[in-house]
Amino acid sequence: MTASFPPSCLTLARARCGERLRVVSLCPNCPECVRLRELGFCESAEVRKVADGGAMICMLMGMRVAIGRELGAMVEVERVLA
């Protein structure tokens, strides 16, 4: 399933490594996003993208979580200012 966000939105897949991010929303029509919410990727959660390869590694609530790029495209985020 593809994300329903406009191309101008910043998604986790498009964000740069090292950035502090806040989850704005998850794809509402995606059953995989239910699992992301269970992992802690819920609205207003802070996340930092640590590595970007075949899978993205994110720091979330003190733990590292690896998710695929396709799934990361379903997570809309915004940058958090220091």
pTM: 0.82
Q: Is residue 7 part of a domain?
A: no
pLDDT score, position 30: 82
pLDDT band per the 50, 70, 90 thresholds, residue 29: confident
Query: What's the distance, Cα to Cα, between the start and end of the chain in Å?
Result: 34
CATH number of the domain residue 43 falls in: 2.30.30.90
Mean pLDDT, to the nearest integer, of 5-34? Answer: 86
Is a pLDDT exceeding 70 seen at residue 36?
A: yes
Alpha-carbon span 16 to 37, nearest angstrom: 22
Domain count, the chain: 1
In terms of residue numbers, what domain contains 36? 20-79
Q: Is residue 44 part of a domain?
A: yes
Q: Is residue 6 part of a domain?
A: no
Q: Is residue 30 part of a domain?
A: yes
3-state secondary structure of 59: strand
Q: Is residue 12 part of a domain?
A: no
- Could you identify the residue written with the tokens 């996003």? 33
Is a pLDDT exceeding 80 seen at residue 51?
A: yes
Q: What is the DSSP letter of 80?
A: P
